[in-house]
Structure 1
Amino acid sequence: QVRNLAMRSLAGTASIRDMVKVFHRVYDLPIVQPADAKEDFSHITKLRLAMRFGLIVEEFMELCEAMDIRADINFLYLD
């Protein structure tokens, strides 16, 4: 199942939902159902939340680069 989804993803025929599902399975990340998620993100460890935030920042930086926009981002970790 995961292999088929991954192959469809690489071929460009998978849906966004399927691509996210493959990403989570390949990297052994938990898939939390919306009903189980908490507004304060307490269902996610700080380490996993930091990793997810890092992925978002990476995508943002790639978008900026593609649009020839210079983005200077600095992080301050408080915990």
Structure 2
Amino acid sequence: MTRLLRLSTSIVDISEWEPDPIEWATTLALFSAEIQAKTQSYHHQIDAKIQIVSLAYSIPWNSITFRTSSVGKPYLVSGLNG
């Protein structure tokens, strides 16, 4: 059996955020209908949660820059403070 491994680098740790259906609906209700539809269209719940957190923090993806160290470890170059 083949198992896919998904790796993700995130500035905010959301690994322990497991909203129940009521909390998720309440959180989504804070955003426009367009954002709600886009968020609900994600196949993986983690992608939807990443979208909501990034929108809540208002950090545009095109303003975030990552690089990798000489050993391949990613690190944040810019984005949170400009």
What is the TM-score of this pair, normalised by structure 2? 0.30
Q: Which has the larger radius of gyration?
A: 1
- Structure richer in helix, relative to its length: 1
What is the TM-score of this pair, normalised by structure 1? 0.31
Q: Highest relative contact order (Cα 8 Å, sep 6+), 1 or 2?
A: 2
- Structure richer in strand, relative to its length: 2
